[in-house]
Amino acid sequence: MNFTAAVIAEFLQGTVEGDPQASVSDVSKIEEGKDGTLSFLSNPKYEKYIYDTQSTIVIVNEDFSPVKEIGATLIRVKNAYESFAALLQFYEQSKPKKIGVSNMASISDTASLGEDLYIGDFTVVSDHVTLGAGVQLYPQVFIGDNVKIGEGTILHPGAKVYEGCEIGAHCVIHAGAIIGGDGFGFAPNQENNYQKVPQVGKVIIEDHVEVGANTTIDRATMGATILRKGVKLDNLIMIAHNVEVGENTVMAAQTGVSGSTRIGKNCMFGGQVGLIGHITIADNVKIAAQSGIPKSIRQEGAIVQGAPAFDFGYYQRCYVVFKNLPSLRNQIIDLERKVSDLSQ
C-alpha cells in the first residue's frame, strides 16, 4: 500500500511542509530511515537524526523548528508520537484479517461458534466451548471443555486454555501462554509425601487484557484467578492460583505473583519482580525491577525497590552507602584507633 503525504496529513489533521505527493509504503525509525518510509520525531534526543534521515516523510510536533535544512517532507501535528501510534493502529486494522475455519482443525459439534471466526490448522475447540464473533484462534491453539471466549479476542499459535476458563472480549493471548494450569497445591502427609490438592477453580480474564508469550496463569483452587479489565502482562510471567490483578495494571517480563495475592488498579511492576502469597497491593503502586515484596503495600501510589523492598528513594540512599561499605568500615577502624589513643 502507498500513501501520500497529503493523504496522511488529512487523516491526522496535520499540515504538509514539502512535497504533498511524496509517498511511503512502510515505516521506519528516524535513525534507520529509508527511502519510501515514514518516521516520526518526538523525543528531542533524536532531533539530530532528522537532518540526514533517508525517510521520505517525517511526522513532527507543530512547534518543531529545524536548525538546518531537511530533505524529508514534514507533516506537522499536535502530538507526533500519538499521531504515529494512531497511524500504526490504522495500518494494522487495514491489513487483511485472517478469517475462515480450517478443515484441519478439530472442532466439537457441541461448540457454539460466533460469526467471522478464524480457526487455524490443528487447533482444538473442545466440548461446549463458546467463541464470540470475530475470535481468531491461530494454529495449534487448545481450547478446553466449557471455555468461553469473548468477541474479537485473538489467541496466537500454540496458546493453551484449560477447561472451564473464561476470556473476555478484545483480548490478545500470545503464543505459548498457558491459561488455567493447576495451581501449585500439595498437602504434606505424615511420611513427607505430598498429596495433590485438586484445583477445581478456574481463570477469569476480563476484556482488553493482553497476555505475553509463554506466560502462565494458574487456575484457582476454588473460585477464580482473575485478571481485571485492561491488564497487560509481558512474557514469561507467572500468576499463581487465586491471584487477582486489578484494572489496567501492567507487569514487565518474568515477574511472578504467588498464590492468593490481590493487586490493585493501575499498578506498574518492573521485570523479574517477585511477590509472596496472601498479600494485598494498593492501587497505583510502582515496583522497581527485580524487587521482592514480602508483605502488603497498603499505601496507594507507593514506589518501592529492594529485596525485600521498601521506599524507592530511601532504598537508593541505602544502596549508596552499601557501595561505600569498605571505606565505611575503614573509617570505623580508624575511629577505634583514635579513640583508643585518646583513652590512654
Active site residues: 241
Minimal distance, residue 215 CB to a copy of itself, in Å: 8
Helix (H) or strand (E) holding 337: helix 325-343
Residues 42-61 that bind a copy of itself (CB under 8 A): none
Starting at the earlier edge strand, list the strands of the sheet with 262-263. 112-113, 130-131, 148-149, 166-167, 202-205, 224-227, 244-245, 262-263, 280-281
Kind of pairing between the strands at 166-167 and 172-173: unpaired
Residue type, 77: V
CB of 65 to a copy of itself, least distance (A): 25
Per-residue binding string, a copy of itself, 175-214, x by CB under 8 A, is: xx-x--xx-x-xx----xxxxxxx-x-------x-x-xxx
**Pattern of binders to a copy of itself over 239-278, x per CB under 8 A?**
-x-------x-x-xxx-x-x-------x----xx-x-x--
- Residue 32 makes contact with a copy of itself by CB under 8 A: yes
Is residue 36 near a copy of itself by the rule CB under 8 A?
A: no
Residues 100-139 as x/- pattern, contact with a copy of itself by CB under 8 A: --x-x-x-------------xxx-x-------------xx
Q: How many residues does the chain have?
A: 344
Residue 230 binds a copy of itself (CB under 8 A): yes
- The CA distance from 218 to 160, in Å, is 12
Shortest Å, Cβ 69 to a copy of itself: 25
For 149, the grid coordinates are: 471466549
User: Of 20 and 311, which CB lies nearer to a copy of itself in the complex structure?
Assistant: 311
Element (H, E) at 328: helix 325-343
DSSP 3-state of 189: coil
Residue 144 CA to residue 238 CA, distance in Å, equals 20
CB atoms within 10 A of CB 125: 27
Q: How many binding residues for a copy of itself (CB under 8 A)?
A: 100
Contacts with a copy of itself in 319-338 (CB under 8 A)?
319, 321-326, 328-329, 331-332, 335-336, 338
Q: Interface residues for a copy of itself in 72-91 (CB under 8 A)?
A: 81-82, 85, 88-89, 91
Task: Give Dmax over CA atoms of the chain in angstroms.
Answer: 96
